[in-house]
Structure 1
Amino acid sequence: MLSRFRRPALLALIALALPLGSALAKSPEPLRVMSFNVRTPVDTEPNKRWEDRRDAMVTLLKEQHPVVFGTQELKTNQAEYLVQHLPGYRWFGEPRGPGDNEEHMGVFYDSAKLKVVESGNFWLSDTPEVAGSITWGNLMPRMVTWALFQRQADGRQFYLYNTHLPYRDEDEPRRVLGAKLITERLAKLPKDIPVVVTGDFNSEPTSPTYAEFTRTLSDARKLAGKVDGPRLTFQNFSTTPTVEIDWILVRGFGVKQFSTLDQTFDGVVPSDHYPVMAELVFPETPKR
């Protein structure tokens, strides 16, 4: 007789527990976003050549599996090799100047987890819509490749902007102009859609460029609940980095973790920059 009375109570407890368990199971994973200067394939010394380090790069990307990553110094043959060896990833981007062999600000994404809603490019110049345009005294074209992404699992959207600013010490005023142009564009985006900016900024966090960006954006490394790896990111194919010039900047995201990925693979570093990665968390959706 007791079992007959206990059974309804047990079923009621199970029913109450199911929604909580279901909600926990559906809790979305953080977005793993990476910035990676892959180093253009011009080096001829052993372990610096693209052919010597490309498999190390693939291994690192497979291990970390960012849902999206912005690259700098990417050439078409490098992009083709990466997508060939990273199943499920796609990429897009335009050459920064005339000819398809020019560098790209290529963006790669896991097509099982994200879809591209819209994308585009603009140049860091007085004529941003003119492909390959150069002003401000830059030696070569500088540009941004961007996209509005939608997460397949829950439909949440975010913007990603990816760039590479000029490298010379005397280019700091030009980097500031680039930062102003990018943040002016970001200011026109919908405020309820989070933004992430990836790049090799060729400036450190003490610079006017960083100050310009962080007027309206936040440094993911500083927001992160947990930080792994060295602060400095450029190491010139060594294991001794010297400057912090690769950043991830955000607006509207929380940051669970930030990592500078300094792994080597059989003594080979994948690039002359360490990639940086942030695990980003969407804000809670407002209750209706």
Structure 2
Amino acid sequence: MLLKLVTFNLKRTILRWDKRNFLNRVAAIQEFFAQQKPDLVGTQELTIRDLRQAEVALPQYRWIGLGRGGGHRSEFSAIFYRPDRLRLLDQGTFWLSSHPERPGSRGLMAVFPRICTWGLFETVETGQKIRVYNTHLDHVSPLARAEGIRVIQEHIHRHQSPQADGTILMGDFNASPASKVLRMLRDSDRRIFTHDSYTLTLQKEPLCCRTYHGFSGKVNGRPIDYIFVSGGLEIADAAIDRGVYDNQYPSDHYPIVMELALPARA
């Protein structure tokens, strides 16, 4: 069975009169969803106001998550999913700090509280289960980013279950492929993830991989957005979508689109 995954920093509304606020881009976002038809989308930055607008624009999707300030406060790392394709079995949000269960807690050197939202999903068609994590790491401190990944890795290891056919981690890591954060995911003794969107995309297009473009349309450069998948899951395809929708870019980041093959059950 194939699932289509997306990670997409959708840029929150900061100033309501900004011509690039979320409301002025929601038609482009709606068109992106209509064309790509993703099953799961890890979003970053949206506030509850933005998410309420997304609910209206994307009625075929549901979402899970909490704000990083706790409850509906501040930015979310919301996961959108198609209920006709996936059943939500469990979910949660934890903070990337020394007290992950404490809402609004901040990690060492982090400018803001940072979070990771996760969901355990079951495919409607086959009953296969995947655990999906979505995060947005600190934008300033490498130390805070490394601490955030450590907390995420610990959570994944504590909650690994034989009932899940695989684990996915996606998001805006604010880190280049050569950074400590990415090395922690690739080189850890307790390594979980065996494949990622960057490696596959780089094989197809060596200068391809900028994911933050600031509405400029630039292509060459390093990514900061990624999708990682665990062993047992096969990446059928991965690409950076640089498309213009409704005559504009949907965000200041390009989305990463991945087609994932779930293992056949005996």
Compute the TM-score of the two structures, normalised by the length of structure 1.
0.83
CA distance in structure 1 between the partners assigned to 2:115 and 2:45 by the alignment: 12
Matched with 1:164 is 136
**Amino acid of the structure 2 residue aligned with 1:155:** G
Note the 1:260-279 alignment, pairs <5 A: 260-279=240-259
Note the 1:27-46 alignment, pairs <5 A: 28=1, 30-43=2-15
Note if 1:234 corresponds to 2:204. Answer: no
SS of residue matched to 1:35: strand
Question: RMSD across aligned C-alpha pairs, in angstroms?
Answer: 2.1
Q: Deviations over 1:244-281 (max 9, x none)?
A: 00000010310000011111135411111001111011
More helix by share: 1
Matched with 2:49 is 77
**Amino acid of the structure 2 residue aligned with 1:180:** R
CA distance in structure 1 between the partners assigned to 2:153 and 2:214 by the alignment: 30
Compute the TM-score of the two structures, normalised by the length of structure 2.
0.89
Matched with 1:19 is none
Q: Larger Cα Rg: Structure 1 or Structure 2? A: 1
SS of residue matched to 1:159: strand
Note the 1:1-288 alignment, pairs <5 A: 28=1, 30-43=2-15, 47-98=19-70, 100-168=72-140, 171-188=141-158, 189-190=160-161, 193-215=165-187, 216=191, 217=193, 218-223=195-200, 230-241=208-219, 242-252=221-231, 253-285=233-265, 287=266
SS of residue matched to 2:32: helix
Kept in 1, the 8 Å contact 2:12–2:21? The answer is no
Q: Deviations over 1:94-131 (max 9, x none)?
A: 11105624101111000100011000111000001111
**Amino acid of the structure 1 residue aligned with 2:256:** V
Residues 81 and 105 (structure 1 numbering): CA distance in 2 closer, same or farther, change over 3 Å? same
Moved beyond 6 Å, runs of 4+: none
CA distance in structure 2 between the partners assigned to 1:68 and 1:275 by the alignment: 12
Aligned residues: 256
**Amino acid of the structure 2 residue aligned with 1:132:** G
Report the Cα offset of residue 176 of structure 1: 1.0
CA distance in structure 2 between the partners assigned to 1:164 and 1:172 by the alignment: 13
Query: Structure 1: 5+ residue runs without aligned partners?
Result: 1-27
CA distance in structure 1 between the partners assigned to 2:204 and 2:122 by the alignment: 27
Report the Cα offset of residue 51 of structure 1: 2.6
Query: Structure 2: 5+ residue runs without aligned partners?
Result: none
CA distance in structure 2 between the partners assigned to 1:111 and 1:99 by the alignment: 23
CA distance in structure 1 between the partners assigned to 2:18 and 2:67 by the alignment: 27
